[in-house]
C-alpha cells in the first residue's frame, strides 16, 4: 500500500480543508491508513485519481462470489501477518452436492449444509457455500441439479465442471446469482475464460504449478477479464504451505501481480481433509471445497477461522439488548453488564449456575470491560438508563436492579435516573450464584 508521503505527492497541496482534514498531509495520512477515500478530495486531478487508485489497490485482487447481502468477497489482502494490520476476508468453506443426486436428495443435502451452524460468543458460524459438481458429465443433468439447489439454497455457490457445455447450460439459469465457475484447465482455458467473461462471473483456474498459474493469469489479464481464483494444484499439506506462502509473498513483498489472486483448494472428507483446510485457512486460502464435513469437524475449524480473521485491535462484542436467563417473570431481578463478549458469557454462565431467573441487560460499551468502560465514561448512569429505555426491561419486571460491585459508586445516580431501588452486587462474577440465591430466600 502507498505511504502517506506517496499519497501527499499526488494531492493539490492547498490545505483547503474541503476533505474534512486540516491539511493535505493529514488527509494523506488518513488515506494511508485506509480511513479516507480519494473521492473525499474534490480537487484531485483525474490522472492523479487513477494513479492513486492503481497504487491503492490491494496486492491480492478482491473477487466476489454471489450477490446482495449474501455475497462473499475473497482476497483483498494487504499483509502477510495479521498483526501488521489485519486479515480482511475470511476463508469460505463449501460442501459438495453431486448432480447425480435426485431432487429430494439434493433438498436433504442442502438442509444438511444449512444445519452446519453454531452460535459462538454472539456470532453465527456456518458453512458458506455449496459446490454443485458435474459428476454425471451430462450438461442437462448438471443444469437440473443446479436448478434444484437454487430452490432452497440462497447463498453463493460454485459450478464445478470442466465441461464448457455443462457450464454454459447451468449459467443460463444461474448467472444472475454470480456463481464461481470452477474450473478452467490448461486444456479448456480459452473457452472457459470467454464463458466467464460473457456471463460476468468469476472463474476458478486449476493449474499444476506456480509457473503455470503465472502463464494463465497473465493471459487472462491480457484478455481484459481477470476475475479469477487460483487452485495451484497442491497435492497435500506440504504443497499448500509452500505454494500459498510463495504466492502471497510474491504478491505482497514483490508486488508480483500475476500471483496476486485469491487461492483455493479442493479437498475430500475426514481428518486429513480438515487438516488440509486448517493449513489453507492459516496460510492464505480464500476457499476450501469439501466432499463432506461433519458438525464435530466444522466447529473447531470455524473457531480457528474466527481467531485468524478477528481484528486483534477490536474486542469481540455482544449486541446491546436484554437477555432473559431461566424464564424470568415480572418480579425477577434485573442485572446488567458491558457488551464485551468475555464479560457477557462469564456473567451469563454464573447466573445460569444460580438457577435464579434473571433479566440480563447488555449495555453497549464498544466492547470494553466493566472497569475500562467505566473509566472511559461509557458505563455510567446515563448510558445504562438509555439501554434500559431502549429495551424496556424496567417494564418487564419490578424486581431489584443489581449494579456490578466494581462500579458500586454509580448506584446512587442510577437510582435517581431510573427511579428504582438499586442493589450493589458482587465484585467478582464467580460470586453471583451465591448472591442471587441469598436474595431469593
Residue 269 lies in a domain: yes
3-state SS class at 305: helix
Tell whether 293 and 360 lie within a shared domain.
Answer: no
- Average pLDDT on 8-27 reads 91
Whole-structure pTM value: 0.76
With residue 7 as reference, give the H or E element that holds it: helix 4-10
Residue 314 lies in a domain: no
pLDDT in tens, 353-394: 999 999 999 999 998 999 999 999 999 999 999 999 999 999
Percent of the chain exceeding pLDDT 70 equals 98
- Average pLDDT on 11-19 reads 91
Nearest-10 Cα torsion for 414, 420, 421, 423: -50
Amino acid 39: pLDDT: 81
- Average pLDDT on 243-260 reads 95
The pLDDT of residue 154 is above 90: yes
- Average pLDDT on 192-200 reads 98
Tell whether 78 and 222 lie within a shared domain.
Answer: yes
Tell whether 51 and 72 lie within a shared domain.
Answer: no
Amino acid 122: pLDDT: 65
Mean pLDDT over the full length of the chain: 93
User: Domain tally for the chain?
Assistant: 3
Tell whether 403 and 357 lie within a shared domain.
Answer: yes
Q: In the listed set 262, 285, 309, which residue is the last one of a domain according to the structure? A: 309
- Average pLDDT on 51-55 reads 70
pLDDT in tens, 317-359: 889 999 999 999 999 999 999 999 889 999 999 999 999 999 9
- Average pLDDT on 8-23 reads 91
Tell whether 47 and 75 lie within a shared domain.
Answer: no
What CATH number does the domain containing 337 carry?
A: 3.40.50.11600
Amino acid 121: pLDDT: 64
Residue 315 lies in a domain: no
Residue 11 lies in a domain: yes
Tell whether 14 and 119 lie within a shared domain.
Answer: no
- Going by DSSP bridges, is the β-strand pair 72-74/63-65 parallel, antiparallel, or unpaired? antiparallel
Length of the chain: 441
Strand partners, 91: none
Name the band, by pLDDT with cuts 50, 70 and 90, for residue 1: low
What CATH number does the domain containing 131 carry?
A: 3.20.20.20
Amino acid 72: pLDDT: 97
Cα–Cα distance for residue pair 399/177, rounded to 1 Å: 51
Residue 391 lies in a domain: yes
Percent of the chain exceeding pLDDT 90 equals 80
Least confident of 75-89, 201-215, 250-264, 267-281: 75-89
Concatenated DSSP letters of 167-210: HHHHHHHHGGG-PEEEEE-TTTHHHHHHHHHHHT--EEEE-SSH
Tell whether 270 and 360 lie within a shared domain.
Answer: no
Tell whether 27 and 123 lie within a shared domain.
Answer: no
Tell whether 110 and 144 lie within a shared domain.
Answer: yes
Tell whether 333 and 386 lie within a shared domain.
Answer: yes
What CATH number does the domain containing 51 carry?
A: 1.10.15.40
Residues 6+ apart with CB under 8 A from 232: 207, 209, 210, 213, 239, 243, 244, 247, 263
Tell whether 352 and 429 lie within a shared domain.
Answer: yes
Residue 28 lies in a domain: yes
The pLDDT of residue 311 is above 90: no
Residue 19 lies in a domain: yes
Least confident of 41-50, 215-224, 396-405, 414-423: 41-50
Residue 316 lies in a domain: no
pLDDT in tens, 409-436: 999 999 999 999 899 999 999 999 999 9
The pLDDT of residue 220 is above 70: yes
Q: Contact 350/283 with Cβ under 8 angstroms?
A: no
Strand order in the sheet with 358-363: 322-325, 358-363, 334-338, 401-403, 422-424
Tell whether 231 and 366 lie within a shared domain.
Answer: no
Name the band, by pLDDT with cuts 50, 70 and 90, for residue 244: very high
Q: In the listed set 251, 279, 309, which residue is the last one of a domain according to the structure? A: 309
Can you list the pairs that 160-165 forms with residues at least 24 positions away whose Cβ atoms lie under 8 Å?
A: 160/96, 160/131, 160/132, 160/133, 160/134, 160/289, 161/133, 161/134, 162/134, 162/187, 162/188, 162/192, 162/206, 163/134, 163/137, 163/139, 164/188, 164/191, 164/192, 164/195, 165/139
Q: In the listed set 309, 337, 364, which residue is the last one of a domain according to the structure? A: 309
Domain residue limits at 331? 322-440
Amino acid at each position: 500500500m502507498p505511504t502517506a508521503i506517496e499519497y501527499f505527492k499526488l494531492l493539490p497541496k492547498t490545505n483547503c480543508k474541503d476533505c474534512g482534514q486540516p491539511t493535505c498531509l493529514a488527509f494523506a495520512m488518513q488515506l494511508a491508513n485506509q480511513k479516507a477515500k480519494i473521492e473525499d478530495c474534490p480537487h484531485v486531478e483525474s490522472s492523479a485519481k487513477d494513479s492513486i487508485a492503481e497504487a491503492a489497490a490491494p496486492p491480492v485482487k478482491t473477487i466476489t462470489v454471489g450477490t446482495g447481502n449474501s455475497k462473499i468477497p475473497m482476497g483483498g489482502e494487504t499483509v502477510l501477518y495479521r498483526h501488521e494490520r489485519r486479515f480482511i476476508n475470511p476463508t469460505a468453506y463449501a460442501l459438495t452436492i453431486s448432480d447425480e443426486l435426485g431432487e429430494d436428495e439434493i433438498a436433504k443435502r442442502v438442509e444438511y449444509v444449512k444445519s452446519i451452524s453454531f452460535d459462538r460468543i454472539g456470532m453465527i458460524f456456518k458453512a458458506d457455500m455449496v459446490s454443485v459438481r458435474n459428476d454425471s458429465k451430462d450438461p442437462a443433468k448438471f443444469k437440473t441439479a443446479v436448478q434444484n439447489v437454487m430452490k432452497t439454497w440462497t447463498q453463493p455457490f460454485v459450478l464445478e465442471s470442466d465441461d464448457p457445455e455443462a457450464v454454459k447450460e447451468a449459467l443460463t439459469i444461474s448467472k444472475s446469482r454470480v456463481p464461481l465457475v470452477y474450473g478452467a484447465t490448461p486444456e479448456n482455458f480459452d473457452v472457459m475464460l470467454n464463458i466467464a467473461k460473457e456471463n460476468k462471473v468469476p472463474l476458478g483456474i486449476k493449474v499444476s504449478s506456480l509457473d503455470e498459474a503465472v502463464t494463465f493469469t497473465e493471459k487472462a489479464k491480457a484478455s481484459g477479464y481477470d476475475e479469477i481464483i487460483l487452485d495451484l494444484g497442491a497435492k497435500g499439506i506440504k504443497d499448500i504451505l509452500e505454494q500459498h506462502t510463495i504466492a502471497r509473498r510474491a504478491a505482497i513483498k514483490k508486488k508480483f501481480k500475476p500471483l496476486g489472486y485469491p487461492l483455493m483448494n479442493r479437498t475430500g472428507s475426514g481428518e486429513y481433509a480438515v487438516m488440509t483446510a486448517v493449513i489453507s485457512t492459516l496460510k492464505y486460502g480464500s476457499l476450501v471445497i469439501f466432499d463432506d464435513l461433519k458438525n464435530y469437524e466444522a466447529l473447531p475449524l470455524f473457531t480457528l477461522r474466527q481467531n485468524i480473521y478477528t481484528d486483534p485491535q477490536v474486542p469481540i462484542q455482544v449486541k446491546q439488548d436484554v437477555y432473559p436467563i431461566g424464564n424470568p417473570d415480572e418480579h425477577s431481578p434485573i442485572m446488567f453488564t458491558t457488551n464485551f463478549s468475555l464479560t457477557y458469557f462469564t456473567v451469563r454462565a454464573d447466573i445460569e449456575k444460580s438457577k435464579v431467573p434473571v433479566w440480563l441487560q447488555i449495555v453497549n460499551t464498544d466492547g470494553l470491560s466493566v472497569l475500562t468502560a467505566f473509566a472511559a465514561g461509557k458505563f455510567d448512569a446515563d448510558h445504562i438508563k438509555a439501554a434500559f429505555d431502549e429495551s424496556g426491561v424496567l417494564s418487564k419486571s419490578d424486581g431489584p436492579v443489581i449494579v456490578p460491585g466494581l462500579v458500586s459508586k454509580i448506584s446512587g445516580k442510577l437510582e435517581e435516573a431510573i427511579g428504582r431501588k438499586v442493589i450493589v452486587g458482587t465484585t467478582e462474577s464467580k460470586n453471583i450464584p451465591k448472591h442471587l440465591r441469598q436474595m431469593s430466600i
